[in-house]
Structure 1
Amino acid sequence: MMPRDNMTCLVKKIARQALVTFRNPFAVGEANKAFLENQTKLKTLMTEVRAEDLKLVARKVDSSLISPPHSPPVTYMHICETDTFSMGVFLLKSGASIPLHDHPGMHGMLKVMYGKVRITCFDRVDKPPTATSSSDTPFSPPFQKGALRLSVLRSTGEYTEESEPCMLSPDRDNLHQIDAVDGPTAFLDILAPPYDPDDERDCHYYKVLDPVVDTEAKKTESQNQKEVWLMEISQPADFWCGGEPYPGPEVSI
């Protein structure tokens, strides 16, 4: 690893590599060798980056002690955005969460800058709820089947600045919840392409309901994957995201 004082342009290298990796949407996917090679290069750069490269100062004190009582639990530092990708930093207060949400048709990488996060990841199951009989779900009105998503609890893990990036794809770990653990935390986030409601890439929020109880679920659980029903909900009232200035090197694409 090169000395940190020689890495002032690392965030620019990450942005350029993200552009190369995701600029051709028709070539993005695990079946494309060139994409996988570029994705690996991007992951390597993301693994190297640290808080000081973005001029971030770790907030060791619970932010609730120094912030107004009604300040947002999560804030975002915008670094750059193109039609290809967006990049920025999320900062979570101690005990704050980014609720369970999805990234329709998007790839992403998340690298912790300081603190610790717990990330709980789900994948959708292809079998649609509307194709099941009423006995397949343990729910009755007011739950509407159209609002339910059969999903698999894929993984739960904790990440620190020493961890490799957490990665998601349109089909893998696409739904996840992010919780701050043991204090404030911050992470660098890349999404490709960015959210765009006009292009059917809007953010949806979900609530975990009871696990599925049937033969297929038992088979899945035996493979260390638990099937659950997710219900789409409105953005939780206790979650909102504010903005903060980004203090690091300017990035222009």
Structure 2
Amino acid sequence: MGIEPTLVDRKGKDLCELSEETNSRSRRNRRRQKKMVQKLFEACKDVFASGGTDYIPPQADVDRLRAILDKMTPEDVGLTPEMRYFRILAADEPPIITYLCLHECDKFSIGIFCLPPSGVIPLHNHPGMTVFSKLLFGSMHIKSYDWAIDVPSYPTAVPNPAQSQSPGVKLAKVKVDADLTAPCNTSILYPADCNMHCFKAVTACAFLDVLGPPYSDRDGRHCTYYFDYPFSSFSVDGVSVPEGESEGYSWLQEREEVDDLIVVGALYQGPKIVTK
């Protein structure tokens, strides 16, 4: 039984049109990816041009950066959940967290943290920095704190006797304690507001960080990690919180060592940023 030539021609034409449509969509996606990363870089360059330690961008600039980040997707930076960064490699060791640096200068940095399931970035601060964090995919638990106002630090022993010689504890108020699932809005930390946070991956996830300015030991912007303890762990004369609100407060203590965190750098392979 023969096949009509017209049917063969029609099928061939359909396949060609489908191939052209696929190629066209792929080109559009590549252009969008390059456009989004470059757009983010250009915005950061403008927003943090005159910035430094303790600089807070004007609200219009905050809104501009947040709007760009809110629209960013994993595809815009060349990531998929199937990549090796998001696998647990050894069950008896802390999950390895991968950091991809897109750009860093003395004014700002743009980078991506890739977390396997159960990966944790412990509680840490951002001294004198404004921080934008965008969850690109997956789910994570985030907890953030502000220092409680007008409460000094107390050089008291902590529940763990092994830490009794460590620096004192200081009272902090919980600002956010919730699970986030992409897509979701960008989170923002300010130099004097909601400046400490920690992350735990509920599923494999990736988040993009913009720091303005970035960490710098030379300029006094050193990353400090903390233990956090329930408010009820300590009884300090003259320190109280409103009745029924003790769960909204914790005592934080600086950590001298962070042996449960493994972060490795990897080459960013997404759309390149043109810096000139």
TM bucket (normalised to shorter chain) is: 0.7 to 0.9
> In the comparison of the two structures, how many residue pairs are matched?
240
SS of 1:198's equivalent?
coil
Report if the CA contact (8 A) 1:152-1:225 is conserved: no
Report if the CA contact (8 A) 1:123-1:154 is conserved: yes
For residue 36 of structure 1, the aligned residue among 42, 59, 71 is: 59
Displacement, 1:155?
1.3
1:12-161 alignment runs, 5 A limit: 12-25=38-51, 28-29=55-56, 35-59=58-82, 63-64=87-88, 73-130=96-153, 139=158, 143=164, 146-161=167-182
For residue 184 of structure 1, the aligned residue among 196, 199, 204 is: 204
Report if the CA contact (8 A) 2:110-2:210 is conserved: yes
Displacement, 1:4?
4.8
Report if the CA contact (8 A) 1:80-1:252 is conserved: no
State whether structure 2 residue 232 is matched by structure 1 residue 208.
no
Distance 1:180 1:71, change over 3 A: closer
Structure 1 residue ranges without an equivalent (≥5): none
Structure 2 residue ranges without an equivalent (≥5): 1-27
1:7 maps to what in 2? Answer: 32
1:249 maps to what in 2? Answer: 271
2:186 maps to what in 1? Answer: 165
Q: Distance in 2 between matches of 1:60 and 1:147?
A: 42
For residue 195 of structure 1, the aligned residue among 210, 215, 220 is: 215
Distance 1:95 1:24, change over 3 A: same
Indicate the percent of aligned positions where both proteins have the same amino acid. 26
SS of 2:270's equivalent?
coil
Aligned-residue RMSD, C-alpha: 3.0
Distance 1:220 1:49, change over 3 A: farther
Displacement, 1:60?
8.0
Q: Per-residue CA shift, 1:125-158, capped at 9, x if unaligned?
A: 233434x6x8xx7858753684322211111122
Distance 1:7 1:217, change over 3 A: farther
Greater strand fraction, Structure 1 or Structure 2:
1
TM-score (norm 1): 0.83
Report if the CA contact (8 A) 1:121-1:173 is conserved: yes
SS of 2:242's equivalent?
helix
Report if the CA contact (8 A) 1:59-1:184 is conserved: no
- Greater mean alpha carbon deviation, residues 76-85 or residues 227-236: 227-236
